[in-house]
Structure formats: C-alpha cells, structure tokens
Chains A and B, each alone.
Chain A
C-alpha cells in the first residue's frame, strides 16, 4: 500500500493562523531545568509568551524577554552592550542557570542583531559556569514546533565527539514518556541517550557511528545537523498509538540486531494494553471524518493513527511544513486524502465549511468560531503539551479526540430531551 506517498500536495501561501517558534520555549524550558531562554524581541514577543504560557508565567519560569526599546533600534545604544547588561543581571538573579539560550525574534532579525556573535562572547565571558547558545524562534523563520527544531539543532555542533556506536533519541518528550521509551529499549538490551538531555553535562556525544531516531516529526534541521556530524538516522513512523510505537521500536530494534523473540517478549503485553485502551474511544471515532489544520507537523502521523487505529476518515490533512524524507513512513501508511502544506486561512476555512468534517483539529484562535458554526473541534496545542507518545499514552491520545465528540453528544442529547418535554 502506498497510501499518500504519491499524493499531490496543495501548497498555499497567505495568512497563517499559527504560532511562531518562540512558543517552543514554553515546553522546552520544562524539559531542561538548568536552562534559561532569553528572547531578544519586542513587547509583542513577551505578550505572545505570556499568552501561550498561561498560568505557568506566575511560577517564576525560566524564560523572559529582553524587550527592544527605541534606543536599541536607533543605534543610540550599542545593542550588544545592552544585551550583555541584561544577561549579567539575569545570571546574577538566577545562579542556578547552566545553559542560556539567546532566542532570536522577528524584530531582532530584521535589525540584524547578531545573536550568534553575542552567544560566543557571553559564553567565553561566563565560562565554565554557563554555556550560552543562540537560535531563531522568529515567525519569519519558524512555525510553532520548529522552534524546538532550531533549539536542538543549535545544540548539536557543540556536542562532544565519540567513536562509539551509540543511540540518540531526538525530541523533547514529557519525562514519564521518555522513561517508558528508554525502559522498553533497555529491556531489549539497547542503551539510549536523549537530546535534549535533562541536564547539561549528561553524557551525550555524537560521531560517525552514532545512530539516531526522531521522537517528533518536526526535527528536520536537527536531523541534518546530526547527519553533518556523521550520525545515521533510523527511519521509522512516529510512535503514536500501538501500531506507530511498535513500528518505531521495531525499526530501532532491527538497527540493533534484536531478535524477534526478544522483541515480542518485550512488546506483547504493552501492545495488548494499548489496543485495549484505544478501543474505548474507537467506538466514538470510527467512521468520523477528520480535518487537521496546519499547526505542529504532528498532523500527518496523528491522522495516520486516527485513521488506522481509530477508524477515522481523513478529509484534508494540513501541515505547516512537509519534510518528505522524514515523513515518508507515515505518508505510506496514511489513507488517501487531501494533503496541504502552508496556509491561506480564509481559503482553507472555506474548504472546511464545504467538507463539514465531524472533527477539526485547529488552533485556539479558530476553535470557538468553528464550534459556533456547528463544527466540532479539537484544539491542537494540547497535543504538544500532553503525554501522547508510546504505548501507555495511546488510550489518552485517542480520548483527546473522542472527548469533544462525546461532549457534543451529551449536550445535544440534553437539548433534545428538553425539546421533547
């Protein structure tokens, strides 16, 4: 079955109703407790971060914005000196910080503020206590989860070299999920490290004998940085649902010469558990038509899971960016449907209104307006914050999509009862 491998892709430009890469900071800083993310940007950037971070902002989070002021733009003050002063103040306030990321924004990039140079300078100034790195999370360069890609890609060149044939799992997952992945692999006799490591100084190295497997689909730049270091990617569909997780584990197991008996022994019980957990939501989801608007690049593997394991019928699956090579295994498994890359939001919404899918995955700016039009929606951002990968989360993942449909059924039923009285 070739699935969507050869499907033409509708490429659109126009208004994108998406977050920029800065948003990635909100989950990345949770994953790296010794890191601080300093955005160099405008008040808009600060406002975006606080809107995306919700109540987290009140818990003294490890991110902030150095807000550019008139003087920084007019060349009245040396922006690099200003930045040094801000970093000085920040590090004095937070002595626990070991890694500092200078994160570029649209304004800092348009005024061509050289953050790479600043990172180098600050790194040597604050060595060995603090390592300073830089990457771009700007809207002109990155969409939403691409911010994580840019961050991880920035870390790769600085990783120590090794000749060892080690395995690196790439992508920030909630600790509970990461631990499950590591213990499944350990049970097959495979030792793995994770990028990003929870703390700096963790023994993570790359070299020509390194193999890596992606945990998230949006890591194209990180993958090519790893390729540059000579590491080889293990090709696999992404570990969503029982099928996705099994296929992912099998690809890693095969690369490490694990025999079938061991693989079956390790995976049989959790596979049965995962299938059983998904079954509860499958009754609700089966036969329902699905549209996903572009957001995180998770859309294709999730649609694959929803179609094959929950019986949903994909109508249009949009993604902000389609990396052909990385997505190939999932595309091959996805039933034929309309694929779109990029966005012209008004035209895409016209298609949604024509299609009238039973469930639309979309951002928070669109969800309530579409609900008012009588469509049922699942807001997408939750999918990057909630533990959804691997076996034990398969049921939770299916339930995330079933819940809006359950809810609609309940409230509509109540309405009908009232009307009947």
Chain B
C-alpha cells in the first residue's frame, strides 16, 4: 500500500479513454462499477468537450457480484454497439473489474459483432495512465493497420496526440504546417482525429513523426518492425529542437530541411537586452519525461537559465531522464510522490519552477514563480487561444510563458532600488502573486529558519541578520539563505549575523 494524496497520473483505463475520446468512430466498453464515470468530466470540463466521451460503463453493483457481471458486460456491449454503431470497439476492465476476472475480450468476441473488437489488458495495480494511452494505441494499430502501398508522394504520419493532452490540439496544427511547408504530405494524424479506417492506412506513409513518445512509442516501434517505417526521435520544442527536427525529418523524407522562420521571434526576444536579467536564473524542471527533456534544453540553451534540478513522474522514461540529468550535472528525481518533489524544490530553492499544476501550487506555497510545461494540468491550460508549445509558434509561446511569471527586468531593478517604497517593500508580496504570497512575521529573536529542526547543523539566524535577509528580493532570497547557511556550516558557525550574510555573499559572488 502506498499513501497518496495526489497523483500525477490516473489509472491506465483513463489512458485508454484518452485514446478513444481523441479518435472518431471508436467506442470503449469499460467493465466498471458505479462511480468510474467520474472520468467523463475530465473531458467535458477540463478539456471542455461538447460531447460525452465514447465510453459505456457496465456499472455493476454489489448485488451483481458473483451472479451475472459477465451477462451485464455482454448486454452493455451489445447495447453500445446497437446505439453507437462504431467502426471498432475496444473493451476492457477498470481496476475493480480486473479483480472479478470476467474476461471482457473473450466475452465480446463471443458476441460475434461485425466490427473489429480490441481487447485491452491494462494492469491497474502496476501501471498508470501513460501506459494506458501507449498500450491502447498500440493495440488499435496492431489490430487495424493493414499492409498497403506507400503513397507516391513523400508522406508521414503524426503519432501521439490524444484527448486531454497538454496543448496537443495546437501542437498538431503547428507541426502539420511545418511538415507541409517542407513539402511532406501528412497521411494520418493519430490517435487524435483519426478513425479506425485511417489507422488501416497508416502503412502508406514513408515514415512516422512521434510527437509524444509517452503515448505512441509502442505503436511507432511496431510500425517500424512491420511496415518498415522509421520514426523521428527529436521533440520539436524550442527553436533549436525545431531546427534539429526539420533536419531529422528532411533526412527521413529526402527533402531540404526548410522552416519558415519569418515568425520565429524567440531567439531575438531572448537576445534582446531586456532578457539579460534572465541569465543564470536557477530553474527546476518536473513533469512528463518528454516535456522535461525538451524544456531543459530550452531553459539552458535558449533562455540562458541554469538548470539546478530535473525529474519526471513516469518511470517508463527513467533511464532517459537520468542520462539527461547527468548531462546537465544534476541529480534526476524520478518519483510520483509530490511530497518528494516539494522537498527537492525546497532544498534547491530555485528561482523558478517549470512543472505541472502540482508544482504551480508548490511554487505558490514557497513563493517561487512557476510556469506550467506538462500534464497534468487544469482547465486554464486548455486555452481558447492558439497556444502550441511545439514548432515555431510554440517557441514564441514558450518564451512568453517562461518570462511572465518572473518579475520583469525593470521591476527587478526597482525592487532593488526602492525596496522600502510602499509598492515594492517586502510585505507587499510579489506582484505576480497579487501580493498574496505568505508573509513571515517580523523576527525579533534569534531563531532557526532553515527548515531543519533536528540534527547538529542547526543554524540560528540573529534577528538583525534575518531582517537583512528580508531586504533581499524574494526571488534570490532562497539562494542567499541557502548559501549563507552552507557558508556558516563550513566555517563551523552556529549563528548567522549580518556580517556572516555579507561574507557569504562575497564568498559566493559569481
């Protein structure tokens, strides 16, 4: 048993729902008890879909157990087929149905429906949502993709976008545009927007573009094996990666890697003098592996930040993320426990967090600015406006997204120069939090403020020193505090005075 207050991923059948809901002409019959329909509202509310997800739940109850849950499943299957007339059916069990051991695949097959039936084995007690998307899409592709002739013109499939995906809608538009701009036809985009009949002709493409390995890597590997289609490994997030992506695609397609950069503003914005203050901002990244890997490069090489830590919640990609962390000279954090993430953030005291909605709340609590770069996200990150994170426009969107939470350069100077002014003094709180960030009480006695309550290395801050610390702008205060305490520990000091603070500052001056 694992104590959990919040989870980064839902159960695997929610992943299957994301694939079914993204597609057209597919219906999912889910053997599940009353209540599992809660997942519908992720789609109707967070993603704001105007249709119910194409999912039928058997809704078995206590009185059905041991009696006729299998009949219930078959009846639900037949009724769903009759009503929705899907081109393909997927069937499976939620966590509770997995325990009662009806066999949805066998039961559905016995019905002899005139459409393909894909049975899903989704182990709910060992795997999670992203496994569910990847496995479901793989099984659909395996069942439905038929051998077919390559298209005469060079073409590719775009694989990975699903329902409830972070910015998937606009990423697809952006990347399809980029591919077409290079003279490459897009054969099928899947799962999002595809019908079973579209999956049947996946094999006609010359190669595959995999936008989200979390959701499409198994399918891409199968297509490579069975249909001889190579697939792209570069995730086109950030200006540099977009150029690399164009080169990789160009090589696979045998065309010139052309990108229309006339609207690519991110590199210049980042070079303009107002961005100078971004240099060396200490950032921590957390989210799904794909976005974290791509964003680490954006953060370091395109924004000029210093990456002080990174990690992901999906263990499937732990090895990749560990390798990346090594490259950045930091320790990878592979965990699905948000309390561990919070601890790491508190320990590193970064000036900015790039993460999921959970990290946004951690940031709010610790007074650290945060930009959201990965699912899970809440309703505000399914915006009405066009906001991809991939491709040329995606790079522009990212620049804005990463800069807005930070205090602008001018404001930073003002904070330093006029720190006692009514608008800028410490108790006013950071402006981007509407002045609502936690405000600690004024110190009047020496105390331990380092957050460690036990152990030998307790450092006591003298009241004067703590007051002086408060005068340091909040976004560098965490770092100053940490450095000072490290300096004091190194010198064997039990107390921090104003002098210690400034000696440490001189010691660590960069």
Interface residues of A (CB under 8 A from B): 14-23, 40, 42-44, 46-48, 50-52, 55, 57-58, 60-61, 63-70, 72-73, 79, 82-83, 85-86, 89-90, 106-107, 109-111, 138-141, 143, 346, 363-369, 371-372
Choose from B4, B35, B49, B94 the contact partner of A46 (Cβ within 8 Å).
B4
22 pairs, CB–CB < 8 Å, chain A vs chain B? A15-B37, A15-B56, A16-B34, A16-B37, A17-B37, A42-B95, A44-B124, A51-B39, A51-B41, A58-B358, A69-B1, A79-B1, A82-B1, A106-B33, A138-B33, A140-B34, A140-B96, A364-B40, A365-B38, A368-B49, A369-B49, A371-B50
Interface status of B454 (Cβ within 8 A of chain A): no
The answer on a CB contact under 8 Å between B99 and A110 is yes
Pick the most buried of B76, B95, B358: most chain A CB atoms within 10 A of its CB. B95
Find chain A residues with CB under 8 A from B2 CB. 66-67, 69
Interface residues of B (CB under 8 A from A): 1-7, 9-11, 13-14, 33-42, 44-45, 48-52, 56-62, 65, 76, 79, 83, 94-96, 99-100, 123-126, 128, 358, 361, 364, 378
CB distance from A62 to the nearest CB of B (A): 10
The answer on a CB contact under 8 Å between A20 and B3 is no
The answer on a CB contact under 8 Å between B62 and A109 is yes
Find chain B residues with CB under 8 A from A44 CB. 10-11, 13-14, 36, 94-96, 124
Choose from A64, A106, A109, A143 the contact partner of B5 (Cβ within 8 Å).
A64
The answer on a CB contact under 8 Å between B99 and A15 is no
A contact patch SS:
helix
Q: Complex Cα distance A372/B49, Å?
A: 9
List 12 additional A-B contacts (Cβ < 8 Å) besides A18-B37, A67-B2, A68-B1. A43-B124, A43-B125, A46-B7, A47-B39, A51-B42, A110-B99, A110-B100, A140-B65, A141-B62, A365-B37, A366-B40, A368-B50
Find chain A residues with CB under 8 A from B11 CB. 42-44, 47
The answer on a CB contact under 8 Å between B41 and A363 is yes
Find chain B residues with CB under 8 A from A52 CB. 38
The answer on a CB contact under 8 Å between A365 and B44 is yes
Q: Complex Cα distance A369/B9, Å?
A: 25
Q: Complex Cα distance A68/B11, Å?
A: 12
A15-B57, A368-B49 given; A111·B99 CB < 8 A: yes
CB distance from A193 to the nearest CB of B (A): 32
The answer on a CB contact under 8 Å between A51 and B52 is no
A19-B38, A79-B1, A365-B52 given; A47·B95 CB < 8 A: no
Q: Complex Cα distance A189/B273, Å?
A: 74
Q: Complex Cα distance A366/B358, Å?
A: 27
Q: Complex Cα distance A346/B125, Å?
A: 31
Pick the most buried of A20, A85, A368: most chain B CB atoms within 10 A of its CB. A368
CB distance from A202 to the nearest CB of B (A): 27
Choose from B13, B36, B45 the contact partner of A364 (Cβ within 8 Å).
B45
The answer on a CB contact under 8 Å between B36 and A139 is yes
Q: Complex Cα distance A406/B95, Å?
A: 42
Q: Complex Cα distance A140/B44, Å?
A: 24
Closest 10 CB pairs of A and B: A20-B35, A139-B35, A365-B40, A372-B50, A106-B96, A139-B34, A58-B361, A42-B95, A139-B33, A364-B41
Find chain B residues with CB under 8 A from A85 CB. 1
A16-B59, A79-B1 given; A50·B6 CB < 8 A: yes
The answer on a CB contact under 8 Å between A368 and B45 is yes
The answer on a CB contact under 8 Å between B52 and A48 is no
Find chain A residues with CB under 8 A from B44 CB. 364-369
The answer on a CB contact under 8 Å between A346 and B83 is yes
The answer on a CB contact under 8 Å between B41 and A365 is yes
Q: Complex Cα distance A366/B51, Å?
A: 8
Q: B44: nearest residue on chain A (CB-CB)?
A: A368
Find chain B residues with CB under 8 A from A110 CB. 65, 96, 99-100
Find chain B residues with CB under 8 A from A48 CB. 35-36, 38
Pick the most buried of A52, A60, A82, A363: most chain B CB atoms within 10 A of its CB. A363
Q: Complex Cα distance A140/B57, Å?
A: 13
Pick the most buried of B9, B41, B51: most chain A CB atoms within 10 A of its CB. B41
Q: Complex Cα distance A42/B2, Å?
A: 10
Choose from B3, B7, B41 the contact partner of A90 (Cβ within 8 Å).
B3
The answer on a CB contact under 8 Å between A22 and B35 is yes
The answer on a CB contact under 8 Å between B96 and A51 is no
